[in-house]
Structure 1
Amino acid sequence: MRRVATHRVYQVNTGDWLSFPVLELDEAGNVVRIYPLAEEISHTEWLPGMIFVSPFFIERKGSEPFSVFFHRLNQEVACLPVSSLSCRAYWLTSFNLSALEFTSESRIIAL
């Protein structure tokens, strides 16, 4: 079991934004639990910025801006069946959280 915390999480399948959450991931990398970060928890990795929780693989297409990336993900999830699929977590590194925009160093890393 791996535990990570971050500034913001976006749940692609529900459209929910969460502030300062903790995510628990199983050995395969699937998200098994999300809950608020109420206090420091031992063996929790802090990943600054933003994490997307998604039932499908996500990637940035070329140098698309965040607004286009975000719109595309929401269109893709609308095509999925209503049933809840297992979700993976994707960390957006070097992301400008205050401007909600990618930087030239931004990467999307599957956790």
Structure 2
Amino acid sequence: MWCVFGLTLLLVALSVSHKVPKPPKPLCEGQLESQKIQELVKTALNSTSPCSTLEKILNGTEQHVHGVKYHFQVQTTQSASCGEVFHGNPVSNLTIFLPSNGTTRPVYYLE
């Protein structure tokens, strides 16, 4: 009897300590248009594709997993300062990961 009770407590303790990440949460239009998100996306675009200028954030999600992970679909145009001819897709997928520890730099990925 005590073994069953002890095993039950152990399983409950393990399930509480091992959190399953929540699925990404869609961001509403107001959040996408916020200054914080706009600046975050512009910084990421400048880092990954300096010739791209943000036109509009089409949609986005936010997920908390060892920090904050954002996924955005963004519409871009070519910066006037770039002399190259733009042949890419004007709609791109942008991933931004902000680690929970303040010592690691953000990670940006554009495809």
TM-score calculated relative to the size of structure 1: 0.27
Q: Between Structure 1 and Structure 2, whose CA radius of gyration is higher?
A: 2
Greater relative contact order structure (CA < 8 Å, 6+ sep): 1
TM-score calculated relative to the size of structure 2: 0.27
